[in-house]
Structure 1
């Protein structure tokens, strides 16, 4: 990307911030549930929340969940621009992976078999999502470990008002990619709601590894996915609602040996099962909620060595992980101006892993058993909300954690904010975060049972402005951490393991704004700047302080032009500019990932409320760029299809 393009985009941003609003934002009266675990208006919380509505999701057909999130302020989804099936790594405000908690309907999701416990966004079908709420800043007080940089709450579809609804989506596009979804849903006279869906993706894809010569005939790496999701809600007695839910995901993909390295026989298979139940009981002064979920991953990586693409002649990795989560909490309106939230939750993770690598060069990988590789944690938390008639509000709380390895820990949050004339909101947050090592970081061949938990303190302050056609928000943030998890290789013995670093200091700003010039035409823009460094003595030959936000560009800007030409025809253009980033290299200086831009176009034509056509054109100028060195990103690609609502 030329410097002039990025500078011009920045000038547009600085000149028009006062007259724009983020397309994901709504008015201060928009109702959210993630900020404090109960329904409340945006004006009633001082936390930074971005909302992706159902209307916006319908205008994003053809995209993956990772691609939708990658357009939001403060988020960078590494892998969203690569081949389908590529692991999606979420960076929120520059924080390292696994510092963002992914939730489904308020239930935390983990992959206990993974390196850092993070849940892969590939396991969601966009068709099954009603809305998304993104909560930024440290949320460990309400949501526990892993919510250090923020929370992404995926709110699923539950059932529509009519007794029976049939929805289907069919599309086809570049790289021989075909997507389809079918769902039935409804509500009967007794108030019972149901939602049942099946989604399918098949793609021949392209080579995940980049062929730098263009002459080595790298094979295409395909992706095949099946997703089944169910929600059923009923009311057994007065004031009581029970929801049963389940989701099954099955992925199969071809993968390559590594950067610039093809492998024609390397595949992975991943299945994920989620099941659970929740009970909501209304009382005179609020409600009580109980919920439980079971989450299991089975992952298998195998290279049968017909084609030797890397250093080994045979690889077979089997990774199984199980998570259990149970929670009970109550929301109570103590007075007109005082509200209380209090609860307790229990989390349990365990994993079984077996990795065979031949030849092993004298470093065999030992199996991990769930009998030894397991953790559990019980927590109690409470938050108090003080609301005054003059617009001043205060939200503060604390959390106590009891971990089977790390013992007791306390976190806190303090969030004062002030609403003026329902047009301005001024807010500040001070909060602490707590993240324990994953099972892999503790028990694998690179594990270190002496690891300490990461501890962080976060600060943010900002202002939001809203009128009838303008919504703008600017937030500055600082995040200080200690005992940060690092992967360290001894330069003498070449032995590798996880260690604790010393101090991490990150900071930045995020701004978002939209202006509706008319009912039909709007312009939206968001810009995020992040920077940071680590101070440590663990790396001989390096300075004690150095930049380490690898794969995280300092500057990301998104610009949208949205135009409803008629009631039937909607058009949207999206420009994204991304500055230089860096990727760590083994025993070498970091590799520079060059700046780039992409230009996308989306169009939808609705014949009526039942039938519509859409087309999604991405990277129209066919830019060549890397978000991970040696792995191909999508060039110009097209996806189009039909939506049917009966």
Structure 2
């Protein structure tokens, strides 16, 4: 209870770790298929900028996501299996995009993206869109969308930036990027690497664990853009990475390991009319994940899971510049899974989905924007299903106080087909599974007084039918079944306060009530989600080039965490940086400053007090 009280008190005086919204006229890429300014968006969106990434010293994208209102993670350890939940959703109900590439592994439990190894080194911006977005982005977006936009050269010439750090648990982390632009051509190439040997993933506090668990990853990413004409732009985008992780049981060490290689690439074309009112985007992409599991119960050459997701998508939009804007698109996806294992058997299977969607934005009154979207998906196994969404945004401005308040609301439906593993795995699959369906929405407001104070408040709710779960009671060893219903509702609060030019306070807070249908009498039981979570950050810049941040992360007790209850906790971090000149910056951080013993998932060990230091170079 003390952590709940702390969160509520801080929420009353401070603000979101990242911008709840952006400048009024800035276009939000993810919130709509129509280019809408921030003041016209009726959904809850959080923006993480490149400066936010730098100040947070976050090596991995998940380190950033856990600081956002409405988002909860199952781990904060580098390389550990990471599930991202938005408003109580499952990980497979959150769609990840990188530069327009849809990520998702069809060989996983359900087609989903595991963000375990996603580093921040090449990221320029993250947009987190919360709530049901299936009508815009398909079946993987019941919970929300995480859209990642990578760095791109925008100025003539060549620039190089690099960073490297060393710290606790023999951590080595670094990367370098070269960016260039000459006339109509621009490019970026980034190389990254990370390794550490931390304590056991199994927590000795709730089990038996003595070994050190190793994790490493390295990868490359890049993009090449060409302005072919004044109206046509072409791009090639891609990334490749290789990672190794030790694996442990819930409460004991294990000799098992996993090696994961994944890559994605895409070709894109964007056309814009001379008057700027019409745009069309075409993307063809492929994402491949290949996992090999090693251990006593696996094949000598490793148990293989390989998933491939191919997507071709076309979106066109027309903005009249006044009353009406429209967008329409088509989408074709092919999913394939190849599995060769001792663990549960072999299979290969594939499905494909065709979709068509449309969106309409109306501005019937000054400062009022209404949007409606509808989508029809045709699945090769489950047939057709439709989804829709509606939003409203109304901006109130007060010139005397320089205050803006945006009232907003959204409501939508979603649908998600079972994954190939859930359907066809020889041991655990269930070919009789049905499509999950959902309904949900939110109401709230965004408040701003220039840069001095911003705030975002949302009440949200969602209902899911036929939610797919692993049911241990299915003979002989368990299998996949479906709940009748699940319910999620709660409150998100985010604020930033900048009372002076040398002080800023940031706050995020989430209250979540997530329940599942427990028996035939309609009694609902708590799901494995903490009810209260949040973060607070206070940053001081006493001198030009010097920055100091104190940060707290906290959660309430989670009674229904898988395997057992996890206690509430508050963890404190300390970060600092010093810019020597335009070329060199030194930085350091201490995570879990007071060496708090805590668990984010039952039986999973977190890191104790850990110090890191590094240098950034820019040329």
> The TM-score by the shorter chain falls in which range?
over 0.9
Shift of 1:12: 3.4
Work out the CA distance in 1 between the residues paired with 2:32 and 2:570.
37
Judging changes above 3 Å, is the alpha-carbon distance between structure 1 residues 21 and 174 closer, same or farther for their aligned structure 2 residues?
closer
Structure 1 residue 198 corresponds to structure 2 residue 191? yes
Alignment of 1:279-298 (within 5 A): 279-283=269-273, 284=275, 285-298=277-290
Shift of 1:105: 1.5
1:462 is aligned to 444
Work out the CA distance in 2 between the residues paired with 1:572 and 1:40.
34
2:525 is aligned to 547
SS at match of 1:346: strand
Task: State which drifts further: 218-227 or 314-323.
Answer: 314-323
Structure 1 residue 390 corresponds to structure 2 residue 366? yes
Choose the corresponding residue for 1:186, options 180, 188, 193.
Answer: 180
SS at match of 1:511: strand
Per-residue displacement from partner, 1:490-533 (whole Å, max 9, x unpaired)? 27x44422112111111101011111101121111111011022
Under a length normalisation based on structure 1, what TM-score does the superposition of the two structures give?
0.91
SS at match of 1:400: strand
2:203 is aligned to 210
Work out the CA distance in 2 between the residues paired with 1:185 and 1:218.
45
RMSD between superposed Cα atoms in Å = 2.0
Work out the CA distance in 1 between the residues paired with 2:132 and 2:206.
45
Work out the CA distance in 2 between the residues paired with 1:328 and 1:401.
15
Shift of 1:238: 3.0
Work out whether residues 304 and 315 of structure 1, in 8 Å CA contact, stay in contact via their aligned partners in 2: no
Work out the CA distance in 1 between the residues paired with 2:218 and 2:309.
22
Alignment of 1:459-538 (within 5 A): 459-468=441-450, 469-490=452-473, 493-535=475-517, 537=519
SS at match of 1:411: strand
Alignment of 1:391-430 (within 5 A): 391-421=367-397, 423-430=404-411
Number of equivalent positions: 609
Shift of 1:22: 4.8
Work out whether residues 583 and 628 of structure 1, in 8 Å CA contact, stay in contact via their aligned partners in 2: no
Work out the CA distance in 2 between the residues paired with 1:116 and 1:563.
44
SS at match of 2:141: coil
Choose the corresponding residue for 1:40, options 31, 36, 46.
Answer: 36
Choose the corresponding residue for 1:449, options 431, 440, 447.
Answer: 431
Shift of 1:184: 0.6
Choose the corresponding residue for 1:106, options 100, 116, 134.
Answer: 100
Shift of 1:248: 0.4
Work out the CA distance in 2 between the residues paired with 1:56 and 1:12.
20
Work out the CA distance in 2 between the residues paired with 1:160 and 1:58.
19
Judging changes above 3 Å, is the alpha-carbon distance between structure 1 residues 171 and 39 closer, same or farther for their aligned structure 2 residues?
farther
2:594 is aligned to 621
SS at match of 1:591: coil
Structure 1 residue 318 corresponds to structure 2 residue 313? no
Work out the CA distance in 1 between the residues paired with 2:412 and 2:322.
26
Work out whether residues 428 and 461 of structure 1, in 8 Å CA contact, stay in contact via their aligned partners in 2: yes
Work out the CA distance in 2 between the residues paired with 1:392 and 1:612.
45
1:153 is aligned to 147
SS at match of 2:169: coil
Work out the CA distance in 2 between the residues paired with 1:527 and 1:419.
24
Judging changes above 3 Å, is the alpha-carbon distance between structure 1 residues 610 and 389 closer, same or farther for their aligned structure 2 residues?
farther
Structure 1 regions of 5+ residues with no counterpart?
306-311, 358-364
Work out the CA distance in 1 between the residues paired with 2:81 and 2:261.
14
Judging changes above 3 Å, is the alpha-carbon distance between structure 1 residues 8 and 626 closer, same or farther for their aligned structure 2 residues?
closer
1:633 is aligned to 606
1:76 is aligned to 72
2:247 is aligned to 255
Work out the CA distance in 1 between the residues paired with 2:466 and 2:3.
39
Choose the corresponding residue for 1:61, options 57, 60, 72.
Answer: 57
Work out the CA distance in 2 between the residues paired with 1:479 and 1:341.
26
1:11 is aligned to 9
Judging changes above 3 Å, is the alpha-carbon distance between structure 1 residues 277 and 165 closer, same or farther for their aligned structure 2 residues?
same
Shift of 1:423: 0.5
Work out whether residues 198 and 227 of structure 1, in 8 Å CA contact, stay in contact via their aligned partners in 2: yes
Work out the CA distance in 2 between the residues paired with 1:198 and 1:555.
38
Structure 1 residue 600 corresponds to structure 2 residue 592? no
Judging changes above 3 Å, is the alpha-carbon distance between structure 1 residues 6 and 441 closer, same or farther for their aligned structure 2 residues?
same
Work out the CA distance in 1 between the residues paired with 2:305 and 2:10.
48
Structure 2 regions of 5+ residues with no counterpart?
398-402
Work out the CA distance in 1 between the residues paired with 2:189 and 2:505.
36
Work out the CA distance in 2 between the residues paired with 1:568 and 1:607.
7
Structure 1 residue 90 corresponds to structure 2 residue 84? yes
Work out whether residues 3 and 555 of structure 2, in 8 Å CA contact, stay in contact via their aligned partners in 1: no
Work out the CA distance in 1 between the residues paired with 2:455 and 2:463.
27
Judging changes above 3 Å, is the alpha-carbon distance between structure 1 residues 401 and 62 closer, same or farther for their aligned structure 2 residues?
closer
Per-residue displacement from partner, 1:469-507 (whole Å, max 9, x unpaired)? 11111100110111111211227x444221121111111
Task: State which drifts further: 138-147 or 25-34.
Answer: 25-34
SS at match of 1:419: strand
